[in-house]
């Protein structure tokens, strides 16, 4: 199943005639599930069935966890330099197969091919970062904490960890998860989104080709039931989740009740504040790109822009730019944005637009009449009298993923940076996602947990500290007197 998956499912025309079953990956082998329940993986641009995804059976899930558990002792003892080299090879293979990976992302998720390349590339950067794990995983050492006694700490892997993925970044988000986890010495069970599992399967094929030993990375499929099984399984020590708040908070509490650590990146409503002194062209381009890129299905997509001092001077030009966007299948070369993920998502967006109009919103540009399973996303335009008012509007929002300001005033930008309640702040940057040497730092309702994805926090999430205090006495020195009091 393995390599054939890469060559056939990545081809939309080949797959539609005979949709392939998405395999599980258990103990180094891609295996067909024995499940009797399958979900269609749909190409959102054409509504064709790309592949059939099994609801992995409980027995298969247990086999995946047990393969990961079995692989752990030898993998954790594999030199960190060797583990890094697997990542070094993996990043090379991802570059080699970038086009195939991107085509799979476009076929199953709908975003444009160029944007799909970005999806893969942003994940690739995490793999590159994992190549330096030895330095990232270093412990600390204090010599002579008392006479002849030293204390040092080491960061050790946790054991079997799991990742639960959303649909919107089929390549990047699995790559936020397993490369850091396994390079720290953990083994892994990945559950891709049931809507677009293809990129995860391909990445796993590449990881095996790169030399990841069998059982270190396993893949299972499904929805609620398998997620609950992951939360409940005593052999799984940590869960990385990215997705909606309903699922994320459920997973956070259910898994925490079982003593697991959880990092849960969730929903967002990202705002941009535009001051009258902002650079007009650069700001408008940034707003349109961040509002409508990937059909608005990025967790850092811009959903609301607040024009301080009034929106009128901006509206016409904003609409002109939005009107010029080409909406079509992501595989067409001149497409600016592709379809949203499903008919249901499109209907939901229509309902939201209508409810806005019903409550008095002006529709500056109606994108609802675009035919086929495609739809332009929604950018809400608001006005505020002052920067203080605008910051208040943003801070009243329960989410805290990202927020940006557009201005040429350093004073205003600094005030915004200080007062805004968002984890990722952009100053003249519309989508301020940090590269992997920092961490992805959503806050408020956009994140549950205390160790963020990737960067130093990501390494801390996937490791636990052992602190050693050592004393080596010369045997000739003798034992001295017994002392029962705590040393002072």
Residues that bind ligand NAD (CB under 6 A): 164-169, 191, 193-194, 223-224, 227, 242-244, 246-247, 250, 265-268, 299, 401, 440, 442, 446
Smallest gap from Cβ 71 to ligand NAD, in A, equals 23
Long-range contacts formed by 6-9: CB under 8 A, 24+ apart: 6/97, 6/100, 6/201, 6/202, 6/205, 7/100, 9/50, 9/51, 9/104, 9/107, 9/198, 9/201
Smallest gap from Cβ 356 to ligand NAD, in A, equals 19
Instruction: In whole angstroms, give the CA distance from residue 243 to residue 246.
Output: 9
Cβ contact 434:462 at 8 Å: no
DSSP SS3 for 238: strand
* 292 closest CA partner among 346, 336, 330: 336
Q: For 64-104, what is the HEC assignment?
A: HHHHHHHHHHHHHCCCHHHHHHHHHHHHHHHHHCHHHHHHH
Smallest gap from Cβ 241 to ligand NAD, in A, equals 7
Q: Any catalytic annotation for residue 299?
A: yes
Residue length, the chain? Answer: 488
Catalytic pick from 131, 165, 231, 299? Answer: 299
Q: Which residue of the chain is nearest ligand NAD when measured via CB? A: 243
Enumerate the β-bridge partners of residue 190.
Answer: 163, 219
Helix crossing, 280-292 with 312-323: angle to 10°?
50
Enumerate the β-bridge partners of residue 436.
Answer: none
* 223 closest CA partner among 192, 253, 248, 198: 192
Nearer to ligand NAD, 67 or 268 (CB): 268
- Beta strands 380-384 and 302-308 are parallel
Tell me the two tokens of residue 340. Answer: 């949203």
Cβ contact 162:108 at 8 Å: no
Helix crossing, 172-183 with 198-209: angle to 10°?
30
Smallest gap from Cβ 231 to ligand NAD, in A, equals 8
Given its phi and psi angles, is residue 469 left (phi above 0), alpha (psi -120 to 50 degrees) or beta? beta
Smallest gap from Cβ 72 to ligand NAD, in A, equals 24
Nearer to ligand NAD, 376 or 402 (CB): 402
Nearer to ligand NAD, 117 or 263 (CB): 263
Smallest gap from Cβ 194 to ligand NAD, in A, equals 5
Instruction: In whole angstroms, give the CA distance from residue 300 to residue 126.
Output: 18
Nearer to ligand NAD, 133 or 172 (CB): 172
Phi, then psi, of 170 in degrees rounded to 5: -65, -20
Enumerate the β-bridge partners of residue 359.
Answer: none
Q: Which residues contact 92 (CB under 8 A, 6 or more apart)?
A: 210
* 63 closest CA partner among 23, 5, 35, 24: 24
Neighbour-count burial for 178-207, b at 16+ CB within 10 Å, e otherwise: bbbbbbbbbbbbbbbbbbbbbbbbbbbbbb
Smallest gap from Cβ 123 to ligand NAD, in A, equals 12
Smallest gap from Cβ 77 to ligand NAD, in A, equals 32
Smallest gap from Cβ 107 to ligand NAD, in A, equals 17
Nearer to ligand NAD, 341 or 391 (CB): 341
Phi, then psi, of 188 in degrees rounded to 5: -145, 145
Instruction: In whole angstroms, give the CA distance from residue 195 to residue 342.
Output: 9
Which are the catalytic amino acids?
Answer: 299
């Amino acid at each position: 199943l393995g390599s054939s998956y890469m060559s056939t499912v990545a081809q939309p025309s080949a797959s539609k005639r005979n949709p392939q079953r998405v395999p599980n990956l258990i103990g180094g082998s891609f295996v067909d599930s024995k499940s009797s329940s399958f979900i269609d993986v749909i190409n959102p641009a054409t509504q064709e069935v790309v592949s059939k995804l099994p609801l992995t059976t409980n027995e298969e899930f247990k086999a995946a966890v047990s393969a990961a558990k079995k692989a752990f002792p030898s993998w954790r003892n594999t030199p960190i330099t060797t583990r890094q080299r697997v990542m070094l090879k993996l990043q090379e293979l991802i570059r080699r197969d970038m086009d195939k990976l991107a085509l799979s992302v476009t076929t199953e998720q709908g975003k444009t091919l160029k944007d799909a390349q970005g999806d893969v590339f942003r994940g690739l950067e995490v793999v590159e970062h994992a190549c330096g794990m030895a330095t990232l995983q270093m412990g600390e050492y204090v010599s002579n904490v008392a006479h002849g006694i030293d204390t040092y700490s080491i960061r050790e892997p946790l054991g079997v960890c799991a990742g639960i993925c959303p649909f919107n970044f089929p390549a990047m988000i699995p790559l936020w998860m397993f490369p850091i986890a396994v390079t720290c010495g953990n083994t892994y069970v990945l559950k891709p989104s049931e809507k677009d599992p293809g990129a995860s399967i391909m990445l796993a094929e590449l990881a095996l080709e790169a030399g990841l030993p069998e059982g270190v990375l396993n893949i299972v499929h499904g929805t609620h039931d398998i997620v609950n099984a992951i939360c409940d399984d005593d052999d799984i020590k940590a869960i990385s989740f990215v997705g909606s708040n309903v699922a994320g908070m459920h997973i956070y509490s259910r898994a925490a009740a079982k003593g697991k650590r959880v990092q849960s990146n969730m929903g967002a409503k990202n705002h941009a504040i535009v001051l009258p002194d902002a650079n007009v062209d650069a700001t408008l381009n940034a707003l349109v790109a961040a509002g409508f890129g990937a059909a608005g299905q990025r967790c850092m997509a811009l959903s609301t822009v607040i024009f301080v001092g009034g929106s009128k001077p901006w509206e016409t030009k904003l609409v002109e730019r939005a009107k010029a966007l080409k909406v079509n299948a992501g595989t067409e070369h001149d497409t600016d944005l592709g379809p949203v993920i499903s008919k249901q998502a499109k209907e939901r967006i229509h309902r939201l637009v209508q409810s806005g109009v019903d409550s008095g919103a002006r529709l500056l540009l109606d994108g609802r009449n675009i035919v086929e399973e495609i739809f332009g996303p929604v950018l809400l335009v608001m006005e505020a009298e002052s920067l203080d008012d605008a910051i208040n509007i943003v801070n009243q929002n329960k989410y805290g993923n990202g927020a940006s300001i557009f201005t040429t005033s350093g004073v205003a930008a600094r005030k915004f940076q200080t007062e805004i309640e968002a984890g990722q702040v952009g100053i003249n940057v519309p989508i301020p996602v940090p590269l992997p040497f920092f961490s992805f730092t959503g806050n408020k309702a956009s994140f549950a947990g205390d160790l963020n994805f990737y960067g130093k926090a990501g390494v801390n999430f996937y490791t636990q500290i052992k602190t050693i205090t050592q004393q080596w006495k010369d045997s000739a020195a003798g034992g001295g007197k017994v002392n029962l009091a705590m040393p002072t």
